[in-house]
Chains A and B, each alone.
Chain A
Amino acid sequence: MTDKPPTIPVTVVGGFLGAGKTTYLNHLLRTGRSRFAVLVNDFGAVNIDAGLIARHDGATMTLTNGCVCCSIGGGFLETLGRILDEKIPFDHIIIEASGVGDPWRIAEIALVEPSLHLNAVIVLADATRIAALLADPHVGDTVRNQFERCDLVLLNKTDLVDAHATRAASAAVAALREGMKIVETSEQTMPDLPQANRKTTSPFRADAVPDVADHEQQFKRWQYQRGGSFDRVRLETALRALPPQLLRLKGACTLAGDTGPSLLQMVGRDWSLTPVEAPERDILLVGVGTDDLPDPAELDRILDRALAAPPAFDHHGGLQPPAISIPLREGQIPCR
């Protein structure tokens, strides 16, 4: 056991109505490379391909990539509490602030809750009207407040205005305070989740840097890479035989008899296989477990039992290409 459990990073996404918060959250959910819990104001606007949705039970949508999207309609604090009580901790919690809310108020939760740390506050701005909103007599103060303590501004919808208007919008946001970091975006060019590694903000008035445990250090990773394919029936048996310390397993593999690769995702004891379009034909899985995860060689042996007899020929009659080793960058899970 470790003295202190790892803390989960929190990113708050704010911005006035119509700035593109939901578009950004849709993008993060669809492209999620690790297990995100995304808390949204309104499910109605979340637009995820039906094929990516594994389960939808009203208040929670579970995606095949392991991400979860929760509506905060039933009470924000209750929803967040439920997320924190999940047996398998999420890799990242992303919270959508209300269009008229102050994202910093939500970010403060990550400063006082010991199981969380604040990754970033991201505020989206609609390039077509942010300058007008900032000067609006009714909502100008509300909109200006949203930017007060953000780490990053996504100046969105820049594809809908010309370069001159984009510059004007950017200048209006930049004028709010020194050091505003602005990235221009459009629906087609949404960025991934930034790792802001906030150093400037601490929950302590004395400016002590909080002792944030490194997420990766508390978990063990295991990578399984083989040429060839799995036998479907034996794979089921092998997955059941994996030890409970393995929290999740994800990656590409091919099943004997299939023409293309599949995405294997296992969270706890639940797993799914979804056909994907990918050039890789081999097996490359990455697992994450608690720090008492058994030796990798032992885990390898369990999955090796599921390997199909190496075929001499592929289904098109050609020779199976030799196994290619794909270099893995640190912290990257090789699937899309």
Chain B
Amino acid sequence: MVVHASFHISNVNTLVLKRAELDRTTNISGVVFGTDGEPSGEIQGIAARFRVFRVLGSNPLSGNLTLEDVNRYASSACVQGVTTITDLHNDLADQTVEVYRAASRRDAFSVRLVPALASVSHTPEQAVAKLAVLKATNNDKLHYGIVKLVVDGSIQGFTARLRWPGYYNGAPNGLWYIAPEELPVIVEAYHRAGIQLHIHTNGDEATEVAIDAVEAAQIAAPRPDHRHTLQHCQMADAAQFRRMKSLGLCVNLFANHVYYWGDSHYDLTMGPERAHRLDATGTAQRIGVPYAIHSDAPVTPLSPLFTAWCAVNRISSGGRELGKATEALTVQQALAAITISAAYTLKMDHLVGSIETGKYADFAVLEEDPFDVAPEAIKDIAVWGTVVGGRVREAPRA
């Protein structure tokens, strides 16, 4: 079984299809057929996945997190010059908490970890109580406190919620994972509890209801410097960015999408006009919304320099420039977006994100100066290693 990086799609071989009794007569959504009328091996959706898991005897996507997993990921972060990393959606089951605690207490652990509690597995009351307990266990490399809400799906999966005119290819509108009428209730509960929210919205309709919810919470219980952050927020238009600015929202834009799915967005999902404003870093910069950029690893590979390269060059994998004139960042802006601005969206800019007396000595050690190389070459700069809390670590080589 091969699992796509999005986790939504898998491929299985003929043997698994046969054992699962998925064949040309199967009529459920999520079993994709080839031109020969037989299942191609691509499966999506809950029913097909359940069937395959039953045949395999277990869910290969579950399984418990181990200390080795976390240490391996910390090494990957070091290879890419990452010194602080988020885990932006986690139920934070007891075992995970224990693994994170054990991992982060080791001096050799080479990354600061910021897990976000998944709201879906808790009521706000439960989550607030759980976070109070978890925050008491924070240490210099483990920072609990934020909560993640997921409002819609993904654009490339046609599950993001879009405003008019919807999907360019006419696909029906996407899915709500939180009902629009429920969102303000949840947002207000966390907002009142003083918790910082990270809200996943891919489509602009989802972004709209998230902004509405934060606006309602700010009216009900005004709170300075809340820094609630919209995650992905890929299709927001300038008017939405202006509302974010006036409400004190931050945004973390998915710059890697321009490269990985830019062509699909141009041809299928958004069409030429809206594809140019995809992940509108330039608009955020001009309007003054605090913004970061991200890879959503493992959805796309972890590499902040590559993400910065995407935001600077705005070129798709097919070679098409998307909104380069209006949305591209300068190298300086892109480097801020992967360092101090990202720290700001986590309320950690007093600890990390810049080299400054009083803050942790966390650095990425690069083989070349990003200001000396051509903007097209930023992604090719080699990472020697990292310094985390003054502890020098050379990146492990394969």
Give A contacts to B, CB under 8 Å.
16-17, 42, 44, 73-78, 80-81, 84, 99-100, 105-106, 108-109, 111-114, 138-139, 141-142, 202-206, 208
- Main SS at interface, chain B: loop
The contact string, 1 if C-beta is below 8 Å from chain A, for chain B 163-197, is 00000000011011111111000000000000000
Say whether, besides A17-B181, A44-B123, A138-B180, A77 and B26 are in contact (CB < 8 Å). no
B25 lies within 8 A of A81 (CB): no
Say whether, besides A44-B123, A105-B45, A113-B54, A139 and B22 are in contact (CB < 8 Å). no
B46 lies within 8 A of A106 (CB): yes
Say whether, besides A100-B179, A208-B25, A138 and B46 are in contact (CB < 8 Å). no
* In-complex Cβ contact of B177 among A100, A109, A203 (8 A): A100
In angstroms, Cα B24 to Cα A142, docked, is: 30
B21 lies within 8 A of A105 (CB): no
With a cutoff of 8 Å between Cβ atoms, the chain B residues found around residue A109 in the complex are 46-47, 50-51
Distance of A199 from chain B, by nearest CB (Å): 15
B1-28: which residues lie under 8 A (CB-CB) from chain A?
20-22, 24-28
Closest 7 CB pairs of A and B: A108-B47, A205-B27, A108-B28, A204-B25, A100-B176, A109-B47, A138-B180
B246 part of interface (Cβ distance < 8 Å): no
B29 part of interface (Cβ distance < 8 Å): yes
Distance of B361 from chain A, by nearest CB (Å): 40
Closest to A73 in B: B121
Closest to B51 in A: A112
Say whether, besides A77-B59, A108-B29, A139 and B53 are in contact (CB < 8 Å). no
* In-complex Cβ contact of B179 among A76, A78, A99 (8 A): A99
With a cutoff of 8 Å between Cβ atoms, the chain B residues found around residue A204 in the complex are 25-27
With a cutoff of 8 Å between Cβ atoms, the chain A residues found around residue B209 in the complex are 138
With a cutoff of 8 Å between Cβ atoms, the chain A residues found around residue B54 in the complex are 81, 84, 113
Category for how many chain B residues contact A: 35 or more
Distance of A110 from chain B, by nearest CB (Å): 8
A113 lies within 8 A of B175 (CB): no
Closest to B182 in A: A17
Distance of B180 from chain A, by nearest CB (Å): 4
Say whether, besides A17-B182, A139-B176, A81 and B53 are in contact (CB < 8 Å). yes
Distance of A295 from chain B, by nearest CB (Å): 36
* In-complex Cβ contact of A80 among B30, B50, B177 (8 A): B50
In angstroms, Cα B59 to Cα A81, docked, is: 10
In angstroms, Cα B147 to Cα A93, docked, is: 33
With a cutoff of 8 Å between Cβ atoms, the chain A residues found around residue B46 in the complex are 76-77, 105-106, 108-109
Distance of A196 from chain B, by nearest CB (Å): 18
In angstroms, Cα B179 to Cα A73, docked, is: 18
With a cutoff of 8 Å between Cβ atoms, the chain B residues found around residue A208 in the complex are 25
Closest to B122 in A: A73
With a cutoff of 8 Å between Cβ atoms, the chain B residues found around residue A206 in the complex are 25
B205 part of interface (Cβ distance < 8 Å): yes
B179 lies within 8 A of A203 (CB): no
Closest to B58 in A: A81
